[in-house]
Amino acid sequence: MKKTLVAVAALAAIGAAQAQSSVKIGGVLDGGVSSYTNTGATHKSLTSFVGGGLDAPSNFNLSGSEDLGGGMKANFMLESGISTANGGFANSTGALFGRMAFVGLSGGFGSVNLGLQFDPAFVATLETDPNGATEYAAGVSQWLNTATSNAQGTSVAGIFDQNAVSYSTPTMGGFGATVLMTLGGVAGNSTANSHTSVGLKYSGVPGLLVTAGGYQSKNATGGTGNESSFGASYKFGQATLAANYLETKTSGSLAANKRTATNFGGGYEITSAASVTAGYYDVENKTTNGSLKTVSVIGHYALSKTTKLYLGGQNAKNSGFGGAALDAGGVGSNVSTSAANAITSTGVVFGMTKAF
């Protein structure tokens, strides 16, 4: 009888422990087709299936939390970027869980995370993207055209920060902040291959969002890349207006370069299922006087809460900017090496996203 009671008590304890912990499976799959004119150095037309994501990055994730008591939780996140074109890795560092892989604690003090994470300056910029941070002709591709040459060592594309430690404040009076630092792991030089990033946000007024961000990235040979940005969006009724500005510079052992991106636009909810966004993106290479000016429109139609169809179009004029990403899906780029030889590329995309 005593052994039975002990067994029952043990099972109850296990059940209570399980009740305090939770693990979730989630993600989104995006499959789409893109068709562009004047792509690459040969300026030929290209039609492709894009599985890494045109509207949203295809990914699979596992997340969990454990209630530690006193309002504190232990958390983890594992996220893999995948391609619906071939089942391989995409939109990530190329590793199994190349988008996120971290553990952390959260509570009334905010949250602390340790491991691979999204760059907070990158996140701050996308939150005020006119096209809602889609992967197509929007903030992600403009970040790739502007900021990635500055990211060094432990930061991949200025988006995925490896070997990272971050702290996020609780939201107080509408203000919130995230500070992140990566460790380069170079003996005798604590700043080599390091990356420090900050993201700031204010949402204390209904409908208004203001963001700012910045990072400094250093390589092992004394090269430094700096990024700064600020933006705002305002939602009123069914409409949203948004604008942001991004500036990057390199110095030291990296070739001196300065680039800027000015983006503005907005969106409108036509019905509960249908919406449209549009944006103008002007990326300038201040060192070479090259520019990339893009106008893009994308519409969404929700078949359910988790399933959407999308259709978009863009026109991009490259005037001596060099190679420029037309979207974040890895389709390729259009290339113009001189302002006198400006290249205009038009593109159409359509596809479907399914969240789970």
The string of pLDDT tens digits covering residues 218-248 is: 888 888 999 999 999 999 999 999 999 999 9
* Sign of the dihedral defined by the CA atoms of residues 39, 132, 33, 90, in that order: positive
Domains, the chain: 24-35+50-355 (2.40.160.10)
Query: 333: pLDDT confidence band, cut at 50, 70 and 90?
Result: low
Q: Quick one: tokens of 222?
A: 């004394």
Statement: the pTM of the whole predicted model exceeds 0.75: yes
Closest CA to 214 of 197, 193, 230, 231: 197
Q: Cβ of 205: how many Cβ atoms within 10 Å?
A: 10
Find the angle CA(186)-CA(192)-CA(198) to the nearest 5 degrees.
125
Query: In the structure, what pLDDT confidence band is assigned to residue 149 with cuts at 50, 70 and 90?
Result: low
Residues 6+ apart with CB under 8 A from 162: 93, 116, 154, 155, 156, 182
Q: In the predicted model, is pLDDT for residue 5 greater than 60?
A: no
Query: What tens digit of pLDDT does each residue of 302-327 get?
Result: 999 999 999 999 999 999 988 887 77
pLDDT at 127: 94
∠151-228-108 over CA atoms, to 5°?
95
Residue 151 confidence class, pLDDT cut points 50, 70, 90 = low
Q: Are 264 and 130 in contact (CB under 8 A)?
A: yes
Asked whether 111 and 103 are in contact (CB, 8 A), the reply is no
Q: CA 279, 285, 53, 123 torsion: positive or negative? A: negative
Phi (first) and psi of residue 129, to 5 degrees: -75, 130
Question: What pLDDT score was predicted for residue 330?
Answer: 52
